[in-house]
Structure 1
Amino acid sequence: MGAVYQKNDINELIKCHKLWSNPLLKMFTENTIELPDCALFFSQYSFYSSNFTRILATALAKCSDETARSIIVSNLWEEVGEKNLMSSHSRLFVNFLRGIGVQESPIQYLPITKYFVNSYLSLCTNSSFKEVLAILAYATEGIVAELYNIFIQGLSSCGVSEQHLTFFVEHIHCDHGHAKALEDALQWQSLDETCQQSCIKAINIALNLRDEFFTEIYKEIYGKRFSPILKGLLANGNDQAALKYDSIVSFEDQLTDSLLYENKSCEQSVNFSVKRFAIQGRVLDPRLLIIPAKCKNEYHKHAHEAFFYVISGMGQVRIGDEVQDIRGGSYVYIPRWVSHQTINIGNDNLKILAMTDYNLTKYFPKNSETSYRQKNLELVKLEGSEMTDE
């Protein structure tokens, strides 16, 4: 005999599903999602949103129970905006897409997007009446609040205003009620063991479909991020982008006029500036780090590795738990994702040429210029404590 599942058991199974550790959702929760990524993902998600009434209609056709049919009809009525088609949920989603810069022109849907939606429809079509209720109650309406709160978090981190998030907010407010009504209609406790097992299987299939869709979109996002640089790296022949620098022979004259970043905090003795060189490679991103006497930069980490060549001055480089003394002519290697800090212990400016591969690793999670280095001086911690890259 197998286990007879209680409602709490089902909710726990859903909570532990691999969907919630999906790399795409992590981009939203870790605030590494960017607006172009959101535009790509939600333009594809619009296919699911616009077809959701078909999923409900398919479920409606399967239902032999009048109470369940009335619940689904009520849901459908809300989806189409009740008496106002302009307030339909599909229209709200279109307005959201406009808010993140996606035009209403025909969207080219990816094969995985069509597969996801068509498979969801097929699952509902080929499932029993009770299995369909389980899919809607637990794997569809029941996950909306948690899922859409994750979306809102990432969208807000991208600067999307509240006025453009109406679609998600409204669904968070109403779909919990839909899920509860569907659960009650399913009458889980009265199901025999075989029916419970078949419903759980249907729930898992629905969650797996969504997880697979999210994973493939995640791959698509990073494919688009890396595509331009990979195209250049894999090109045969001379790199025309680099040839224009053949005549450059000077050093600091080739620094850009604007600062890449700087921080100053008298209380923490943090004072430094970083400039880029005009010369940029496909992968290499040379920089000049300047730290005034008796000052330092923050204790930080990032995805790009770096070679430091000390041009002038005296100092120390802390790498993890090790400290290395440096002076003019010294060189130091900084591995990826290892916390480090540079301290000027001399009486003159400490100047360091930092050769990084940031032009490649800026596409990595948590390694954009606005995420890996803390600019808020209130978050600078005392020397000896680790500054995270959050």
Structure 2
Amino acid sequence: MTQSISKLETSIKALATKLNGHSFLQRCRDGSISLDELKAFLLQQGLYSAYFTRYLCAMMANLPSNDQVMELAENLFEELGLEPGSPTPHHIIYRNMLDSFGIELDSTKIKHETQALIDCMFAHCRELNPAFGLGALCIGAEAIVPELYSSLVAGFRHHGVPDEQIHFLLLHIECDDGHAETLNDIMLEIAGSNEFQLDNMIKAGEQIIEARLAFFDAIENKIPHAVKLESASIAFT
């Protein structure tokens, strides 16, 4: 078990470092990111994350233990606003953030790279072997959210955007640590009975990170770094 923990932690750290090395996130942290690029991220991320509860439900259906399902159900309830301490569904909080930037999620076409990220996540979460869905959701998503969103928050703050306007990002920097821990514990439990499952989890996480890097590339390619538009909303064609 100790070796599995070390291998998993090392893989998560390496993939998080790779993701954080992308120029999009580097420029968020150093303040050179444009506000339009940040809005572009919010728009395409909104299209991807609109399926989050379905990713989670698809993966939960393949878990071998009812206890594991119940552990993840707490995460699901929080996302849906069914927890006493989290009364507002997270998709509503995200939609309110988009509205504050004048971004209309339903009026845009999804980018190819965003669709590829969605398809990759769904493919892993629908696998009958739950190791793939767990790796995709934990290593490729929940475990990297705190650092990912921290970079985005830095970018928005460089543009003077108040924290109240990006409440969704700040909320998930805190709560997704707990979500990742729950997924991590289940992963180690499954890997404990079959060490080869850990390789499947890591492979799935790597594929999601690669899809996320392509997602960032697409945002940067759509809006050149030197061009800073003043539009209040973004629509991709």
| TM value normalised by structure 2 | 0.84
The question of 1:183 aligning with 2:184 is answered yes
Number of residue-to-residue matches in the alignment? 223
Provide the residue aligned with 1:195 in structure 2.
Answer: 197
Provide the residue aligned with 1:217 in structure 2.
Answer: 219
Provide the residue aligned with 2:116 in structure 1.
Answer: 115
Cα pair 2:142 2:180 within 8 Å, conserved:
yes
Q: 1:180 to 1:68 in 2, by over 3 A?
A: same
Instruction: Describe the superposition over 1:65-116 as per-residue Cα deviations: whole angstroms up to 9, x where unpaired.
Output: 1122112211111111117998211111111112223135522221221221
Provide the residue aligned with 1:251 in structure 2.
Answer: none
**Structure of higher CA gyration radius:** 1
1:1-390 pair list within 5 angstroms = 5-17=3-15, 18-82=18-82, 87-103=88-104, 105-126=106-127, 128-187=129-188, 190-222=192-224, 362-363=226-227
CA root-mean-square deviation: 2.4
- Following the alignment from structure 1 to structure 2, what is the Cα–Cα distance between the partners of residues 105 and 186? 35
Cα pair 2:5 2:188 within 8 Å, conserved:
no
Which range moved further: 82-91 or 152-161?
A: 82-91
- Following the alignment from structure 1 to structure 2, what is the Cα–Cα distance between the partners of residues 83 and 70? 14
Instruction: Describe the superposition over 1:146-203 as per-residue Cα deviations: whole angstroms up to 9, x where unpaired.
Output: 1111111111112211111211111111111111122112225614332222222112
Q: Secondary structure at the match of 2:140?
A: helix
- Following the alignment from structure 2 to structure 1, what is the Cα–Cα distance between the partners of residues 70 and 195? 27
Q: Which has the higher strand share?
A: 1
Letter in 2 for 1:70: M
Comparing both chains, which one has the higher relative contact order based on Cα–Cα distances under 8 Å and sequence gaps of 6 or more?
Answer: 2
Q: 1:5 to 1:363 in 2, by over 3 A?
A: farther
Q: Secondary structure at the match of 2:103?
A: coil
Letter in 2 for 1:51: Y
- Following the alignment from structure 1 to structure 2, what is the Cα–Cα distance between the partners of residues 129 and 105? 32
Cα pair 2:138 2:180 within 8 Å, conserved:
yes
- Following the alignment from structure 2 to structure 1, what is the Cα–Cα distance between the partners of residues 3 and 103? 43
Q: 1:190 to 1:44 in 2, by over 3 A?
A: same
Cα pair 1:100 1:160 within 8 Å, conserved:
no
The structural deviation recorded for 1:59 is 0.9
- Following the alignment from structure 2 to structure 1, what is the Cα–Cα distance between the partners of residues 106 and 133? 33
**Displaced runs of 4+ in structure 1, greater than 4 A?**
83-86
Letter in 2 for 1:220: K
- Following the alignment from structure 1 to structure 2, what is the Cα–Cα distance between the partners of residues 126 and 161? 41
| TM value normalised by structure 1 | 0.53
Q: Secondary structure at the match of 1:87?
A: coil
- Following the alignment from structure 2 to structure 1, what is the Cα–Cα distance between the partners of residues 144 and 184? 13
Cα pair 1:71 1:178 within 8 Å, conserved:
no
- Following the alignment from structure 2 to structure 1, what is the Cα–Cα distance between the partners of residues 128 and 140? 14
Structure 2's unaligned 5+ residue stretches are: 229-237
Structure 1's unaligned 5+ residue stretches are: 226-361, 365-390
Letter in 2 for 1:177: G
Letter in 2 for 1:200: I
Letter in 2 for 1:203: G
Q: 1:35 to 1:116 in 2, by over 3 A?
A: same
Cα pair 1:56 1:76 within 8 Å, conserved:
yes
- Following the alignment from structure 1 to structure 2, what is the Cα–Cα distance between the partners of residues 54 and 214? 23
Q: 1:105 to 1:186 in 2, by over 3 A?
A: closer
The structural deviation recorded for 1:5 is 4.5
Q: 1:191 to 1:149 in 2, by over 3 A?
A: farther
The structural deviation recorded for 1:127 is 5.7
- Following the alignment from structure 2 to structure 1, what is the Cα–Cα distance between the partners of residues 198 and 109? 39
Cα pair 1:81 1:88 within 8 Å, conserved:
yes
Cα pair 1:55 1:121 within 8 Å, conserved:
yes
